[in-house]
Amino acid sequence: MKMLINVPETVVADALRGMAAAHPDLTVDVENRVIVRRDAPMHGQVALVSGGGSGHEPLHGGFVGPGMLSAACPGEVFTSPVPDQMVRAAAAVDSGAGVLFVVKNYTGDVLNFDMAAELAEDEGIQVAKVLVNDDVAVTDSLFTAGRRGTGATLFVEKIAGAAAAEGRPLEQVEAMARRVNENSRSFGVALSAVTTPAKGSPTFDLPDGELELGIGIHGEPGRERRPMMTSGEIADFAVHAILEDMPPHNPVLLLVNGMGATPLLELYGFNAEVQRVLAERGVAVVRTLVGNYVTSLDMAGASVTLCQVDEEMLGLWDAPVRTPALRWGM
């Protein structure tokens, strides 16, 4: 496989060096693998810290900045960061108002963030944790006990980040993050397998002419494998799976997310089909985001995430944000 890298062993460090050069408003500690907004800590504000394996960019480092995350901890490719990274990040951004850990439901992430929370509290940092588990495709997987955390992570980090920027106390920011997660559901589809730098070849076999319905962001198996479907058929399947699990009583935010190798031409066409299905089901879409936000290296495919919102949540979504990957209102 051809990749734009030097050697697999330095791919994360090289990316972090490039990120530092591109975004001077971030402080990027390449050696210790911590990305912090340069103006942290923000006096009187709750800090948000998240992280996970690399390979899902822009998640999480691309979401560090005003109105969203205070810091992010990148692990090796598809590998959880270690507790020392999380403690270092929490110490760098804590203003005394507390730190909220946003954790995707993958076993390594959960265990390491739990340990980091204990260590941070030993250092006098008040910590709360929110687990993101929005994926309706499967209950358990190769990487999780319970549902996987996927696209809703973006909604949690943005809306809770806006609540923190308003100066809300830790318990309210945590409650808002939980509310967003509880009102979000996702479903993903893979059109090709993912290739990690270390392996240099596809991590699973997905024959030409087939797709995997319900895939995870590490290439975990989904619900079933089928012959290739049209964009409209995939939209019907994905939206049905989500609405079967969460019949919305409020308008929704919609994320049509690329898995890394699907061009925007296709993603916008897929968005048109998703919007069609939602309209047919009587679901009102108040905001739409289309693009690569929670990726899986070079996997072709897409995921759909819905978050039903009230006026307060929508206002927090619309609040100003300035990060490498999300930027509006500033």
**Tens digit of pLDDT at every position of the chain (330 positions):** 899 999 999 999 999 999 999 999 999 999 999 999 999 999 999 999 999 999 999 999 999 999 999 999 999 999 999 999 999 999 999 999 999 999 999 999 999 999 999 999 999 999 999 999 999 998 776 666 789 999 999 999 999 999 999 999 999 999 999 999 999 999 999 999 999 999 998 888 899 999 999 998 988 878 899 999 999 999 999 999 999 999 999 999 999 999 999 999 999 999 999 999 999 999 999 999 999 999 999 999 999 999 999 999 999 999 999 999 999 997
Which residues are bridge partners to 285 per DSSP? 252
| 13 and 148 together in one domain | yes
* Structural domain contains residue 330: no
Active site residue 249: no
| 166 and 294 together in one domain | no
Instruction: Look up the domain containing 106 and give its range.
Output: 8-180
Q: How far is CA 168 from the centre of its chain?
A: 23
Query: Count of domains in the chain?
Result: 2
| 31 and 100 together in one domain | yes
Active site residue 240: no
Catalytic residue among 56, 60, 240, 249: 56
CATH number, domain of 126, equals 3.40.50.10440
Catalytic residue among 43, 218, 240, 249: 218
* Structural domain contains residue 325: no
